[in-house]
A and B are shown apart, each in its own frame.
Chain A
């Protein structure tokens, strides 16, 4: 796998402990980058996800698909510790958590984006990205104001990484622009940059292409794949656009009504009768409200049903 050799460039120089993580093989159990074990989550009486098991290999691009309300975002929120599951555990880098500590997420090597933009609107593109190095900072605010010693080292390191990610994602031209004024597609890209600059081992993307134009989607797919190839990240993404998913991901997990109904390579999933019935082709009565809830995705799903 290309993961090992390519994980080095960004993660290596300053944080050897973190850089070593993806290289270490777990003895016996197999080197899953992320594993979900029997995750169940409900809000009041409403079950969002139930009994989900999932294992993602290092360097894999994993798509999670499913109709609206299938529990995809809930799953991402469980992995990032925003929600605490009622049952089950999340395994990250050989440790398991009943609730992943959100505050330490970046230090665990996990970065995420949000379904709706979650940028810091009052900061420039550069500052948005550079802020995400906060987890690697040790200097206190007085040291930062004086700006010498480790504060200086940390600052320079953060800036250098930010520069690298900005040129990687082609953002250097708009470094001083306030993110709030950027078009939607670019804001999504800045959010990806903010996640990437932390050099995570696991990258969670909650609908990275929702609401994007086709060229933007193509760019984003390219960037996600490049991020994996270049930095050896494990990518878990939620996506509605079946076409994008099939082309981009190594494996696909299909959810419906909070349950996992299929898990496999795009080809396998496309051929899976349960998936065809539940999601790609036949419209169930449970899905009837779906096109109304999200106009774009519903139509796309049915049109792609003919793909197989």
Chain B
């Protein structure tokens, strides 16, 4: 597996250990250790949302980081995934939940292709603005037509239990393991994809569209495929967000703020890096918790939820600006530099 596409691991670090060792150890701990030592607070408030956001960021990173197409409609594709899974599960008797997830991803992919059509003519910020249409349209449609939420008057519906291959994933640990399994599988598939011709085509279109066209990359098809695959992954992330984390399905959680949050995860974590999605998501999930602890420790009762909310936005904004200026390649690059520095000494 050529690692150049996956990450910017410096040559020295790559030589000393195979690239798969780190992820393998991480996976081993995630599957084999954490379920036995973690508290339900850790699973419900930190790890499960972290996994769902990581997956959404991975999907967006495929589109923005690898294929170079900016999108601000990520939350909309999550919503499509969540509502599609809910409806397939509800309306098709006896459909295994795995299939529901797959169909949810496909539904998101179809919507993604549709809203990706402007990418054939638009680039950069203009494209980003046109993907906002997805954000507003999807949210409007899900609120307007209550068929999607099974005519539930509140528009908020409870998610059914998670069953995968006959195993019910109940409780905090169960939902965490469910999310972890799905995220691992999708991440591995994405890694595989990036090492094929198609993955190279994404990068070729991003780095030099004309040269890509000249060597025969089907540029338009490649862009739409990037939208489709990205939206598929984001749709699956939406299923995790609604079913494993919130356990309710409602349109309001998938608003523009969420889209931006995922974009920030990608920027802070590192564009065009699989690890970046996870690094960025970890920061975004853990950072508010740390901030609230530190804030209440330092300022006591002055640090109420309003102040917390404000200071969160301010610090996050500063962080993003700092990253864009100081380390545009994100946390991943920072991490690699620390690792390399440690080895040099």
Answer whether residue A80 sits at the interface, using C-beta atoms and an 8 A cutoff.
Answer: yes
Q: How many A-B residue pairs have CB under 8 A?
A: 102
Cβ of B213 and Cβ of A127 under 8 Å apart?
A: no
| CB-defined contacts of A102 to chain B, threshold 8 Å | 213-214
B208 with A120: CB separation less than 8 A: yes
* Inter-chain contacts of B213 with A (CB < 8 A): 102-103
A123-B5 contact in complex given A118-B208, A131-B201, A145-B193, C-beta closer than 8 Å: yes
B272, A122: Cβ atoms under 8 Å? yes
With A131-B197, A137-B197, A145-B192: A120-B218 Cβ-Cβ less than 8 Å = no
Check if A144 sits within 8 Å of B196, measured CB to CB: yes
Residue in A112, A121, A124 whose beta carbon sits within 8 Å of that of B214 in the complex: A112
- Say yes or no for A126: interface residue by CB 8 A criterion: yes
- Check if B200 sits within 8 Å of A119, measured CB to CB: no
| Chain A 89-122 interface mask (CB, 8 Å, partner B; 1/0) | 0000000000000111111000110100011111
Task: Let me know if A106 and B216 touch, CB within 8 A.
Answer: yes
CB proximity to B under 8 Å, residues A148-183: 151, 154-155, 158, 176, 178
Chain B interface: which size bin? 20 to 34
Least Cβ distance of B297 to chain A in Å? 43
| Distance (whole angstroms) from the CB of A82 to the closest CB of chain B | 7
B211: nearest chain-A partner, CB-CB: A118
Shortest C-beta distance, B229 to chain A (Å), equals 8
Contact among A82, A107, A119, A145 for B216, CB-based, below 8 A? A107
Does B274 sit within 8 A of A, measured CB to CB? no
* Mask: chain B, 176-212; 1 = CB below 8 Å from A; 0 = not: 0000000000000100110011101101101110111
A126 touches B197 (CB 8 A): no
Most buried by A among B192, B197, B212: B197
Complex contact B225–A141 (CB within 8 A): yes
Among B2, B11, B206, B216, the residue within 8 A (CB) of A135 is B216
Instruction: Compute how far the CA of A145 lies from the CA of B217 in the bound complex, rounded to whole angstroms.
Output: 18
- Shortest CB distance B13–A (Å): 13
Q: Is B219 an interface residue (CB 8 A)?
A: yes
Q: What are the residues of chain A within 8 A of B33 when measuring CB–CB? A: none
C-alpha spacing A238/B195, complex, angstroms:
35
Instruction: Determine if B21 is an interface residue (Cβ-Cβ < 8 Å).
Output: no
Q: Is the beta-carbon distance between B200 and A105 smaller than 8 angstroms?
A: no
Q: What is the CB-to-nearest-CB distance from B154 to chain A, in angstroms, rounded to a whole number? A: 40
Query: Quick check: A120 and B2 within 8 Å, CB to CB?
Result: no
Q: Does A130 interact with chain B (Cβ within 8 Å)?
A: yes
Out of B5, B197, B225, which one reaches A134, CB within 8 Å?
B197
Expressed in whole angstroms, the minimum distance between the Cβ of A127 and any Cβ of chain B is 6
B192: chain A residues at CB < 8 Å are 145
Q: Which residues of B contact A205 (CB under 8 A)?
A: none
- Pairwise interchain contact A105-B214, C-beta atoms closer than 8 A: yes
> Within the assembled complex, what's the spacing in Å between the Cα atoms of A114 and B203?
18
B interface, by DSSP: helix, strand, loop or mixed? helix
B17 at the interface (CB under 8 A from A): no
Inter-subunit contact B218/A103 (CB<8 Å) = yes
Residues of chain A within 8 A (CB-CB) of B272 are: 122
Q: How far is the CB of A47 from chain B (nearest CB, A)?
A: 23
B4, B196, B215: the one contacting A141 at CB < 8 Å is B196
- A278, CB-defined interface residue at 8 Å: no
CA distance A187 to B225 in the complex (A): 29
Is there contact, CB below 8 Å, between A103 and B219?
yes
| Contact yes or no, A120 B211, CB < 8 A | yes
Q: Contact at B201–A134, with CB atoms within 8 Å?
A: yes
When chains A and B are docked, how far (Å) is the Cα of A102 from the Cα of B212? Answer: 10
Report which residue of A80, A82, A123, A131 has the largest number of chain B beta carbons within 10 angstroms of its beta carbon. Answer: A131
Does chain B have a CB within 8 A of A301? no
**CB-based nearest B residue for A124:** B4
Nearest CB to that of B190 among chain A residues? A145
Say whether B2 contacts A111, CB under 8 Å: no
Closest residue of chain B to A107, judged by CB?
Answer: B216
Cα A120 to Cα B197 with chains together (Å): 13
Report yes or no: B204 in contact with A178, Cβ–Cβ below 8 A. Answer: no
B5→A144 contact, CB < 8 A: no
CA distance A131 to B5 in the complex (A): 12
Give every chain B residue within 8 A of A134 (Cβ-Cβ).
197, 200-201, 204, 215-217
With a cutoff of 8 Å between Cβ atoms, the chain B residues found around residue A107 in the complex are 216
Supply 23 A–B pairs (Cβ within 8 Å), ascending by A: A82-B210, A103-B218, A103-B219, A111-B215, A118-B208, A118-B211, A119-B208, A120-B200, A120-B203, A122-B5, A124-B4, A126-B2, A127-B2, A127-B200, A132-B216, A134-B197, A134-B215, A141-B193, A141-B198, A144-B198, A155-B197, A158-B197, A178-B4
Extra 9 A-B pairs, beta carbons < 8 Å, given A120-B207, A145-B192: A107-B216, A123-B203, A123-B204, A124-B5, A134-B200, A134-B204, A141-B193, A158-B197, A198-B215
